[in-house]
Every structure is written in structure tokens, then in C-alpha cells.
């Protein structure tokens, strides 16, 4: 659907989603609907795949345990990846997620253009 409300002109890019895919995407958007989770995802996207320890992500005006909860939700959706090294957990953006975010952000810019 374009920004004027018409879904008849997809310019060859219309998608047909299965019921399962529709449910998955709804879950992704629901997950990203939380401002803290979105902020964490954007911060990881800015790092272009570089891993960071969890303590470097804890400056988002919520407690460390809340950050861990949000990171778990993002990881469960496959948006980020983690690995443990001793007591430290490192996070990075999931494969292909940065490109998808950039496409979505670019689409917003196209929708706002006159």
C-alpha cells in the first residue's frame, strides 16, 4: 500500500504472505513496537555487525535486567544474535537485519517525499 492508501499500484513489489508469515511479521512489528527494543536494535544496527557486551547496551534509561529482557525478546525473534564468553554475553545484529532496517527506513523517506 502506498502512502495515499491505494494498494493497487505495487510497482511489481506486492507481497503475498502465508498465514504463518503474516503472524511472524506481526510478532516482529509488535516486538519492535517497544521504544527500548527499537532503540537497542538501532544501536546494534549502527555497529554494522560488531559484537558488544551487554553492559555497553545498558544506557537506555531502564534497568540492566530490563535491558536483558528486551534483548531476549529481540533474540527470540531472530533479530539479534548472542554468544556467551564466561559470564559476559555479547550481542550483534542478526544476519540480514541491518539491510531490512535500511530498506524500511528508505521506504519511510520515499513515502514522505512530495
Confidence of residue 1 (pLDDT cuts 50, 70, 90): very low
64-76 and 35-46 helices, crossing angle to 10°: 80
> For residue 38, how many other CB atoms are within 10 A of its CB?
15
Per residue in 86-108, pLDDT tens? 999 999 999 888 888 878 777 76
pLDDT at 114: 67
pLDDT at 82: 96
Q: Which three cell numbers stand for residue 112?
A: 514522505
Per residue in 45-91, pLDDT tens? 889 889 999 989 988 889 989 999 999 999 999 999 999 999 999 99
Q: Which of 93, 98, 95 is nearest to 80 (CA)?
A: 93
pLDDT at 2: 40
- Rounded CA-CA distance 62/47 in Å is 21
pLDDT (mean) for 8-16: 64
Name the residue with higher pLDDT: 111 or 78: 78
Q: What is the pTM of this model?
A: 0.76
SS (H, E, C) 11-74: CCCCCCCCHHHHHHHHHHHHHHCCHHHHHHHHHHHHCCCCCEEHHHHCCCCCCHHHHHHHHHHH
Q: Grid coordinates 533479530 are at which residue? A: 79
Amino acid at each position: 500500500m502506498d502512502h495515499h492508501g491505494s494498494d493497487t499500484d505495487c510497482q511489481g513489489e506486492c507481497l503475498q504472505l502465508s498465514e504463518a508469515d503474516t503472524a511472524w511479521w506481526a510478532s516482529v512489528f509488535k516486538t519492535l513496537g517497544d521504544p527500548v527494543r527499537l532503540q537497542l536494535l538501532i544501536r546494534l544496527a549502527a555497529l554494522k555487525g560488531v559484537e558488544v557486551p551487554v553492559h555497553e547496551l545498558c544506557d537506555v534509561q531502564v534497568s540492566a535486567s530490563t535491558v536483558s529482557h528486551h534483548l531476549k525478546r529481540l533474540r527470540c525473534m531472530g533479530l539479534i544474535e548472542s554468544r556467551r564468553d564466561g559470564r559476559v554475553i555479547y550481542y550483534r545484529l542478526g544476519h540480514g537485519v541491518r539491510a531490512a532496517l535500511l530498506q524500511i527506513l528508505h521506504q519511510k523517506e520515499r513515502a514522505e517525499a512530495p
